[in-house]
Amino acid sequence: MKCQAIMNIMEQLAPRRLAEDWDNPGLLVGSPKQDVGKLLVCLDVTEEVVMEAVYNHCDMIISHHPVIFKGMKKLRTDLYQGRLFQKLLINNIAVFSAHTNLDAAVGGVNDVLARAAGLERIRAFDSDSSRPMEETVGRIGYLPEPMTIDEFAAKLKAGLGAEYVRVVRAGDKIIRKVALCSGAGADFISRAAFLGADCYITGDVKYHDAQLARENEIHVIDGGHFPTEFPVVKVLAELISAKAEEAGERLEIICDTASRDVFEVI
């Protein structure tokens, strides 16, 4: 299967037009013309992931976070980034990344998170962007039955397979309506409260974000950046596999098993 054919599949699943202007999705390493027989899907392109791809004889990696995000001024192979790209190029491994476009896409990162949280009647919410509501990154939905913050936090932790979650309590408010944004979405706390959410799920919540949540009387569950996004890896692999099969293409796909959350609780 040609790399370009896989890129076409990704364009169907996570159209580039959904990406934020500051983002850098797309084919970042390799050529559209190269042959791909085996593909690895991951969240981050790290040295461990690249070595896993090399060990499994993969020809391409599809990641959520772009392997090239900011401009590079040097590519020294004695430094981490240089070593990473050296391994990719020596082993002829292409890298394609789908970032904020996969966040916003139907069936993408945020829909996977919403399902892990057990939400129903899920829809996108307008994050004050100029795009149609269905193309925004946030999601909002309802629990099948009301829960306390402790009950819901425990349920979410289990759904994500996370070692821990952090909770910001907004009193004794019962949770019925939930908003979320995977990764680092604390900027939307006020918007979630305005939309009537009782709880907001995201990651990378800072101290003053937590204070803002209390002021807005909305519970917040910080599930962590990695746990709120990593579940999309398996789902994306399944979606790509189904699209390739529909096209009559032969493509072997594996999921990253090397990555772990960079944070630990001691």
Q: Where on the phi/psi map is residue 101: left (φ > 0), alpha (ψ -120 to 50), or beta?
A: alpha
pLDDT in tens, 130-163: 565 567 789 999 999 999 999 999 999 999 999 9
What pTM, to 2 d.p., does this model score? 0.94
**Across residues 24-33, what is the average pLDDT?**
98
Helix (H) or strand (E) holding 51: helix 47-55
106-223: what fold?
3.40.1390
Band of pLDDT at residue 56, cut at 50, 70 and 90: very high
CATH number (3.40.1390.30, 3.20.20.70, 3.40.1110.10, 3.40.50.880) of 3-100+229-254 reads: 3.40.1390.30
- The yes-or-no verdict on residue 127 having pLDDT over 70 is no
Residues facing residue 167 across a β-bridge: 221
* Amino acid letter, 19: A
**Closest C-alpha among 208, 207, 156 to residue 182:** 156
Within 13 Å, how many C-alpha atoms sit on residue 142's CB side?
A: 6
